[in-house]
Structure 1
Amino acid sequence: MTMILLGAAAAAPIGKRMDHRFELDNQARLRFNLAVMEQIGLDRLTGIIAFARSASLGSYTAAARSLGISPSAVSKSVQRLEERLGLSLFTRTTRSLTLTPEGRDLHERALRLLREAEEIEQAAVAARSEPAGTLKVTAPFPIGVHLVAPALPRFRERHPGLSIDLRLGDRFVDLIEEGIDVAIRVGELADTRLISRRLAPHRLGAFASPSYLQRRGTPVHPDELVRHDCVNFRFQSTGQALRWPFQIGGRTVEIMPNASIVTDFSDAVAAVLVAGGGIGVSPTYIAAPYVEQGVLVPVLQEYVVERSVITALWPESRRGNPNVKAFLVFLGEVFPSPTPWDRLLSARVGDK
């Protein structure tokens, strides 16, 4: 049937062919591309996937990590694809891959093909009512470790037929290309292919140990931080140190502390503070358990800023996916309003 349609279109004038082409509905287009992929053969399809992932991530190593295979396997798949096509798809250096003009064209086409294959799969999954299979979730390290991972056993008790693949890191991930079902991120990302839902405020607060404050005194205004030992966080993605935000006089002011200790891991900041290393800024969900234990104390709480939001993101193609639906319902329980960690800190400040 598809071949007859295409043949008829080919015999028609160009204008009519274009009109007829745009009359094909999405399902017909998806069925045609699926038939094309079936004819491609597994080896060639593997090469296209390896090439597309390498082009998007910039290296065979990153592509291999994403696909769960070895870098040499990715490299060989791409080389075989180049040999079959008689084209050079990458300009290679010891550190990176750069697409050739032919490679850029093929990359765009490959992404379209793979996204349509994803739509086909998700349409089939949406027809299933019960969550089953594997749910791929990505989150930043601190949110994943402190909030998501501890809740997963409870989620699996409800859905024993569903396994979880949790991937932690701050690297930007193309959810669609890497097959991620749900991403949890700080901030609201603008991508028309994704659906987002606000989960909770992402608040930063200043904290110190009781022993440090007894020894050095408690600041009552952010300006007094210049007389204190400060512990700061550095972003792994940019190498930049965190600017401490405070609400002063009705506006947000950012302060760059003269830090005596800097680390690129949020839990390390908390560990230094607990050990009496100074005053530091931390997400409230990390600091709250230490405050509850009495080993950290909030300071400058009247100047706390709601820096951003914690957001759930998922591809438009996953809208009807029962796995995603179940997990989003569960995330509403993990991130209630108000959150237990912010409720705890508010209560402690109110007790003073």
Structure 2
Amino acid sequence: MDRLATLDLFVRIVDRSSFSAAAADCGVSRPVATAAIKALEQRLGTRLLQRSTRHVRPTEEGAAYYRRCVAILADLEDADRGASGAVAGLLRADVIGRLARMILLPALPAFLARHPALTVHLGEGERFVDLVREGVDCVVRTGTLPDSDMIARPLGVMEEVTVASPNYLARHGTPASPDDLQGHQMIGFVSSRTGQPLPLEFTRGDEVIEVSLPARLLVGGVDTYAEAARLGFGLVQVPRYGFEDDLANGTLIEVFPDFPPTPTPVSVLYPSNRQLSPRVRVFVDWLVEIIGPRLHRQCA
């Protein structure tokens, strides 16, 4: 391997904590990757990586070398982009499925036409992932974000509504306020962070009220959550965006709109410990360009 390819391999090994994953990313075999790093350590006269049966971690010298390599590779990519005007390579992003299907995918052809040398690997998920360990460049997530070493760039907020199906309301009655929820049930949406169902949340003036109702059905995905509501399993809180048809045709009925849930923030997250590559930068800027205005129009 040439010197530059070896630097890229070393960075990927640290990012992925795995020789095998990094070798696959670089399109080489594990023995080739192992030999290249061994030769690099011999040339530098120091050990860069601590290897165990489960993980690969940088030594103190390896961590310092990693930071220099990340800066060098990012500067080189910036220089290439400046010379050619092109953004190239593979970008890995993980996005909430509903936003991907309703906003990103319809706009993606124009983005790819603008950057013909760029390939996008679009994953779909709602859990918080270790971006560096899993080789993901950025993620789009909703809600209050946990403390982490990632940079969060706001994309907008989604208006939330409390809804239920007509047959559920026929059986349990239509509550007029959060004080009328005795005897009602919710569909429990299980948090990927806590493993517990999220309470329903309402605002009354400046006050935020949390209510946990009995739940005979617990789910972990937004689409299942919404479909269970349509089938009458209980009350749910969902973004108004994407459910306009359900509300317009009466499949779902909004209850006590005067006590709405707090809006849900939408953010794109990317690692803070490495220089943002040009391909990630243009993708993040594009997300701000397409998601923010759509959510703003929905909340207006």
Q: Distance in 2 between matches of 1:311 and 1:248?
A: 26
Quick check: 1:199–1:331 contact (8 Å CA) kept in 2? yes
Counterpart of 2:131, as a letter, is V
Q: Residue 48 in 1 paired to residue 4 in 2? A: no
> What does residue 35 of structure 2 align with?
80
CA 1:124 to 1:324, structure 2 compared with 1: closer, same or farther past 3 Å? farther
The 3-state SS of whatever aligns with 1:245 is: strand
Match runs of 1:79-98 below 5 Å: 79-84=34-39, 85-86=41-42, 87=47, 89-94=49-54, 96-98=55-57
CA separation of 1:233/1:89 partners in 2, compared to 1, >3 Å: closer, same or farther?
same
Contact in 2 for aligned 1:232/1:281 (Cα 8 Å): no
Contact 1:132–1:323 (CA under 8 A) maintained in structure 2: no
Identical aligned residues as a percent: 23
Q: Is the 8 A contact 2:201 2:262 kept in 1?
A: no
Is 1:283 aligned to residue 239 of structure 2?
Answer: yes
Structure-2 change in CA distance of 1:61 and 1:258 (3 Å): farther
Structure having the higher helix fraction is 1
Unaligned stretches of 5+ in structure 2?
none
Aligned residues: 284
What 5-or-longer segments of structure 1 have no aligned partner?
1-40, 344-352
Q: Is the 8 A contact 1:194 1:316 kept in 2?
A: no
**Whole-angstrom CA distance in 2 between matches of 1:63 and 1:222:** 52
Instruction: Note the alpha carbon deviations across 1:189-211, whole angstroms, 9 max, x for none.
Output: 89999794x54322332221111
The CA deviation at 1:269 is 0.3
Name the structure 1 match of 2:62: 103
Residue 247 of structure 1, aligned match among 199, 203, 228: 203
2: distance between equivalents of 1:193 and 1:214?
Answer: 46
Query: 2: distance between equivalents of 1:122 and 1:107?
Result: 22
Letter in 1 for 2:237: V
Following the alignment from structure 1 to structure 2, what is the Cα–Cα distance between the partners of residues 222 and 330?
35
The structural deviation recorded for 1:227 is: 2.1
Q: Which secondary structure state, in structure 2, belongs to the residue aligned with residue 309 of structure 1?
A: strand
Partner deviation per Cα, 1:65-89 (whole Å, 9 max, x = no partner): 8x3858xx3x445422442114361
| TM-score, normalised with respect to structure 1 | 0.63
- Label 1:58 to 1:240 Cα distance change in 2 as closer, same or farther (>3 A): farther
Deviations 1:93-132 (A, max 9, x none): 34x444333433333333222222233233335xx3xx87
1:230 correspondence with 2:230: no
Q: What's the TM-score, normalizing by structure 2?
A: 0.72
Aligned match of 1:207: 163
- Secondary structure of the residue aligned to 1:200 is strand
Larger Rg: 1
The AA in structure 2 aligned to 1:215 is: R
Determine if the alignment matches structure 1 residue 116 to structure 2 residue 72: no
In structure 1, distance between residues paired with 2:10 and 2:101:
32
* Larger RCO: 1 or 2 (CA < 8 Å, sep 6+): 2
Q: Give the aligned partner of residue 220 of structure 1.
A: 176
